[in-house]
A and B are shown apart, each in its own frame.
Chain A
Amino acid sequence: MRSHVLNAAFDEPQKSGRFINRPERWFRASESLWSVVHKWAFLNHLSWAEIRELVAPIASRAKSGSQSPWAWGEHEVLLLASHLNLLTREFEFSTLDKFLFPPRQYRNWRAWYAEELRFCPECIRTGFHSALHQLLYLTKCPWHGVHLLDRCVHGNSVDSRFGCQQLVKPYSCVDGVPLWDGLHDPEWPCVAASARDAVPEQLSAWVQNISAQQPSRNIFAVRLNRRDGVAKESIADNFADSCDWRSFEPEIVNFLTRLVEGPEWLGSSRGGYSTGEITSAALTIDRVELNRIEAPRWPFRIPEIDSVPYEWEAYRSEVPTTDRYWTDLRYRCLRTRRSVVDSFAGILERHRGSCPAQWSATGVVPGGVCHLQYAVTNCRILFGVDQRRLGGDDSDSREDWRCLRPAIARTLDAQLERLLVWLGVPWQVLQVASTECARLVAWLVDQATAALVRNVLERLLFDSVNAQCKFSESRSGVTRGGAVPRVPLMEQDSFVGFTPDRWASPFAVTANPSQGEVNFHAYFGIPLRRWTQLADDSELCRETGMSPVTPAIVRDVLRRLDIQDARHGHHEHGALS
């Protein structure tokens, strides 16, 4: 082939416009749009008006004001990629679309991420920010395991939206101090190709796995489909389309658990759950390793599947993966309940004054009614939920959730989780609450608390009535277990007509009024734990300033609550005396 010398000018390539860009020095294929655009603006001295002109569609160029990077569509990303000489697929994880896989199905999905910038101090130190950090249900950096920050060193939040003000000093807080120390360095550190590739590989692996799963019903759908008069458009119904966690591979479940940090009781799991760090090696945990987890020692016998009530069945069918995994969680859940009860003594003392007036006189059962007083009061306080605000139509409710979201997200801390456990909110709900939907739990609690309190109290009082026979057994030295009579509400027949109105704590509480003894039972009537130390020890009574339960107090409560039990003919006030 001959030389092309003479044709050189003829073949001269047409240069397209280029920008100052250092992709090999800063861009990782999962970097957030916020980070990319701010770096682009910094390197090229671009204002927001100029960026908007370059990137935004013609129709939206005239719009003034700020824009959220998380609301950018394909068009903007496509143009941005072309300006930066990058491939569009390199922006696959720069937006939140991929990470909002369940919530994206809901109309209010935009409330699931933060508008203010959330960042990992370790990541930002290397000039990296991921869209993943913006998700409100994530509290730790998946890569470094450190808590995400939403404040700069001056204590101010950083607006993640793009706007004239925000881009005056790119990649900086409102005080003009760069979030990344190396921003002004003439040479940015090179990002190794392996490091660049590892992150998107990890992310794409589980996002693709999750996306491939077919949506199925979940605990909310199961529960609420049985509820009469529930509007089809309710928030909980939306969860009917969320992914079925059972169908995920163990490593995906593992990753998700890590990702969402998980409830507190997952923290010390030997299976490596919720250590708060994502490493590529951790993703290789297989079923064999999962099966190697030793089953916890059960405080009670697992009943036969045919004899379990609906709720138990729901547990069985909705657990994420294996029985062992479930039992592990379950055990920790129960253990947490105990610690909650143990810690209530001090809490009670601090919150005595905040109990509603109608309950204040009913120091009925230590660890019983007063705990509920505390729970109800503090649920209200913590959630800030007003029953009237949530009782309207769905549109109003959604607005309420939007308003409540930041407050709830902040207050749904470990204490509240424990409280919800104690209240009897099933752990699935709790898990979802702490990971995906704090607002839903607020709603559930708000809706259910009244019924919950009523039912638990009711059962408490029934059990107080029945306590005579139970404690007579106890006195005679009969071992508890399957022989203990089931709590009436928990019998299988009762569950046929189970509705949230009768949704009660998984606890069944029995008390020995004369001796101040309190016993807790699971739904299925098997004694869960006998916290005799609570009632036997009169220290609690001294701390709380309450008297042990007496028949007179029980009668007083019955009268106040106007509870009549037609199912138990022997339930007469006088029977206790």
Chain B
Amino acid sequence: MEQDFSTCDIAKHPLMRDTAILPTPAVELFVNVVRTWLELLLPGGIIWGNFRTGKTQAIRYFLSNSHELLGMRIPTYFLSAWDTDGQAVSENRFYSEMLSVLGYGLTYKGTGLIKRRRAIDFVVDEVRRMKEHRALLFVDEAQWLNQRMYRFLMDFHNQLKKADVRLVVILVGQPEILETREEMRGLRKGHIIGRFMTATHQFRGAQLADLERMALAMDQVSEFPVGSGCSYTEFFLPRAYRAGWRLEENMPRIWQILKSTCSEGGLSEISELPMQGVSAMLRALMREFRQLDCCTFALPEDVVRDVISTVALQQFHDHAVQVAPRA
């Protein structure tokens, strides 16, 4: 029986709310790397990538699906580092953030010492409750971690180790974190490098293969409304979808249009695309396609070109400009 979702509020769609995480090869690679480090019990590693390439989204995806992805329950936490702007970070502030990250019920009360103890005991308690011996901590924007924060992290790591809990710290950040590592190497801070920077992995932005994979997911493995059995593509283009139109099959053509539009806009070569721009492009495309939905729907190239140039081109351009010097 065919369902009619034309009356559904499009604004509630995960794609429109930017809450859908599209599984790209980059995300899968990210997951595999984390799994490997966890299995090898590496105390920590660096995952770096250019800005807006979807690192944070990948972490969120991992956190949401850690049980399925790892095949076991491991306490997983997500700390977002903050720019101290040269200010000293107190133990109290650090552990307040840590308690908040851990999901502790009381984050703002007590001395730094008490909060430290609470954070350690809390992780130990969670690990034991899950009958595990490992805990995973993602530190996003890790390029902002300063020496003091590293020291607190080290202490946290050591205390947990004393309680037979292995904390695996994944530092996720922009390429500056590599500079931090080199700097520490120069300063002979081997104790920090040896704990949190034992391995590195680059998180890349989207390419054609990524777009195709995303399109496949939108055609087949996505679903909205939940339980309806309706994929994203079917939601936006119900008639065309029933007539056999698929986004994945049209993605090479969209990629060509994207490349030509970019070259016209001054971007001669595309090494990787920022995920934010790609998401915006897909969002805008599906919204425009929805207006044109019919049984004989065919990819409207002029519409695609317009969407790319108005929504994504600027972001692609900015990304290419800022990434180029680093490269």
Q: Across the interface, do A46 and B106 meet the contact criterion of CB distance under 8 Å?
A: yes
A474-506 interface with B by 8 A CB criterion:
none
Q: Assess whether B131 is interfacial by the CB under 8 Å rule.
A: no
Asked whether any CB of chain A lies closer than 8 Å to the CB of B60, the reply is yes
Task: Please report the C-alpha to C-alpha distance between residue A47 and residue B109 in the assembled complex, in whole angstroms.
Answer: 10
In this complex, the interface size class of chain A, counting residues with CB under 8 Å from chain B, is: 20 to 34
Chain B: interface size category: 35 or more
Contacts of A46 in B (CB 8 A): 106
Residues from chain B with a CB closer than 8 A to the CB of A49 are 109
Q: Is the CB of A18 within 8 A of B20?
A: no
User: What's the Cα separation between A342 and B19 when bound, in Å?
Assistant: 90
User: Is there an interface contact between B118 and A7, defined as CB atoms closer than 8 Å?
Assistant: no
Q: Is there an interface contact between B64 and A12, defined as CB atoms closer than 8 Å?
A: yes
Per the 8 Å Cβ criterion, residues 243-267 of B in contact with A are none
Contact B106 A19 (CB under 8 A): yes
Q: How distant is the Cα of A117 from the Cα of B107 in the complex, in angstroms?
A: 31
Q: Are B64 and A2 in contact (CB under 8 A)?
A: no
Taking a contact as CB atoms under 8 Å apart, the answer to whether A18 and B105 are in contact is yes
A217 within 8 A of B: no
Q: Which residues of chain B (92-136) have a CB below 8 Å from chain A?
A: 103-107, 109-110, 114, 117-118, 121-122, 125, 128-129
Asked if B104 and A8 sit within 8 Å, CB to CB, the answer is: no
Chain A residues whose C-beta falls within 8 Å of the C-beta of B129 in the assembled complex? 22
User: A47 to B110, alpha carbons, bound, how many Å?
Assistant: 8
Chain A residues lying within 8 Å of B229, measured Cβ to Cβ, are 1-2
B224 touches A7 (CB 8 A): yes
A16 partner residues in chain B, CB cutoff 8 A = 103, 105
Task: Mark each residue of chain A from 48 to 66: 1 if its CB lies under 8 Å from any CB of chain B, else 0.
Answer: 0110011000000000000
Residues of A within 8 A of B63 (CB): 12
**CB-defined interface of B35-73 with A at 8 Å, one 1/0 digit per residue?**
000000000000000000000010011011100000000
Structural contact, B106 and A9, CB atoms closer than 8 A: no
Which A residues from 19 to 36 make CB contacts under 8 A with B? 19-22
Contact of B114 among A17, A18, A45, A186 (CB under 8 A): A45
The answer to whether the Cβ of B188 comes within 8 Å of any Cβ in the partner chain is no
Nearest neighbor of A24 in chain B, beta-carbon distance: B129
Task: Judge whether B270 is part of the interface by a CB distance below 8 angstroms.
Answer: no
Q: Are A45 and B117 within 8 A (Cβ)?
A: yes
Cβ A1 vs Cβ B23 within 8 A:
no
In the complex, which residues of chain A have a beta carbon less than 8 angstroms from the beta carbon of B23?
A: 5-6
| A20 lies within 8 A of B217 (CB) | no
* Docked complex Cα distance between A479 and B240 (Å): 118
**Which residue in A7, A18, A47 is a CB contact (below 8 Å) of B223?**
A7
Q: Tell whether B1 is near chain A: CB-to-CB under 8 Å.
A: no
In the complex, which of the residues B163, B218, B222 has the most CB atoms of chain A within 10 Å of its own CB atom?
Answer: B222
Q: Which of A2, A11, A50 contacts B106 (CB 8 A)?
A: A50
Q: Which of A74-129 contact B (CB under 8 A)?
A: 83
Q: Give A44's nearest chain B residue, CB to CB.
A: B118
- From A3, A9, A47, A54, B19 is in contact (CB under 8 Å) with A9
A9 with B57: CB separation less than 8 A = yes
The answer on a CB contact under 8 Å between B105 and A6 is no
Bound-complex Cα distance A503 to B217 (A): 94
The reply to whether B104 and A19 contact each other, CB–CB distance below 8 Å, is yes
Minimum CB–CB distance from A383 to chain B (whole Å) comes to: 49
Q: In B209-243, which residues have CB < 8 Å from any A CB?
A: 217-218, 220-224, 226-227, 229, 231-232
In the assembled complex, B21 has its CB within 8 A of some CB on chain A: yes
Does A4 lie at the interface of the complex (its beta carbon under 8 Å from any beta carbon of B)? yes
Q: Which residue of A lies closest to B23 (CB)?
A: A5
Quick check: is A43 within 8 A (CB to CB) of the other chain? yes
**Nearest chain A CB to B222 CB, angstrom units:** 4
Query: Which of B118, B125, B222 interacts with A2 by CB under 8 Å?
Result: B222
Question: In the assembled complex, how far is the CB of residue B269 from the closest CB belonging to chain A, in whole angstroms?
Answer: 30
Mask of B276-310 contacts with A, CB within 8 angstroms, 1/0 = 00000000000000000000000000000000000
User: How far, in whole Å, are A498 and B221 apart by their CA atoms in the complex?
Assistant: 92
**Cβ contacts A260-285/B at 8 Å (1 or 0 each):** 00000000000000000000000000
Against A, the Cβ 8 Å flags (1 = close, 0 = not) of B5-41 are 0000000001001011111000000000000000000
When A4-B223, A7-B222 are in contact, do A50 and B118 touch as well, CB less than 8 Å? no
**What residue of chain A has the Cβ atom nearest to residue B113's Cβ?**
A45
Residues of A contacting B60 in the complex (Cβ-Cβ under 8 angstroms): 9, 12
Given contacts A1-B223, A12-B63, contact A20 B14 (CB under 8 A): no
Q: How far is the CA of A83 from the CA of B103 in the complex (A)?
A: 12
Q: Would A7 and B14 be within 8 Å (CB), given that A12-B63, A20-B121, A20-B122 are in contact?
A: yes
- Which chain B residues numbered 158 to 214 have a C-beta less than 8 Å away from chain A? 163
Which A residues are CB-close (under 8 A) to B64?
8-9, 11-12
B221, A2: Cβ atoms closer than 8 Å:
yes
Which of A5, A44, A54, A186 is in CB contact (< 8 Å) with B217? Answer: A5
Query: Contacts A20-B118, A45-B114: A6 and B14 contacting too (C-beta < 8 A)?
Result: yes
| A83→B105 CA distance, assembly (Å) | 7
For B57, the chain A residues whose CB sits under 8 A away are 9
Checking B22, B110, B227 against A1 with a beta-carbon cut-off of 8 angstroms, the contacting residue is B227
Q: Is the CB of B121 within 8 A of A8?
A: no
Name A8's contact: one of B61, B105, B220 (CB within 8 Å). Answer: B61
How close is A227's CB to chain B, nearest CB, in angstroms? 58
Q: Which residues of B contact A3 (CB under 8 A)?
A: 221-223
A-B contact pairs, 22 of them (CB 8 A): A2-B220, A2-B229, A2-B231, A3-B221, A5-B217, A5-B222, A6-B221, A8-B61, A9-B60, A9-B61, A12-B63, A15-B103, A17-B103, A20-B122, A44-B106, A46-B106, A47-B110, A49-B109, A53-B109, A54-B105, A54-B106, A187-B128
User: Which B residues lie at the A interface, using CB under 8 A?
Assistant: 14, 17, 19-23, 57, 60-61, 63-65, 103-107, 109-110, 114, 117-118, 121-122, 125, 128-129, 163, 217-218, 220-224, 226-227, 229, 231-232
- Known pairs A6-B20, A19-B104 / 14 extra A-B pairs, C-beta < 8 Å: A2-B220, A6-B232, A7-B223, A8-B64, A8-B65, A9-B64, A17-B106, A18-B105, A19-B106, A20-B121, A43-B125, A45-B110, A45-B117, A50-B110
Q: Which 8 A-B pairs have the closest CB atoms?
A: A17-B105, A6-B222, A10-B19, A15-B103, A2-B223, A8-B64, A3-B221, A9-B21
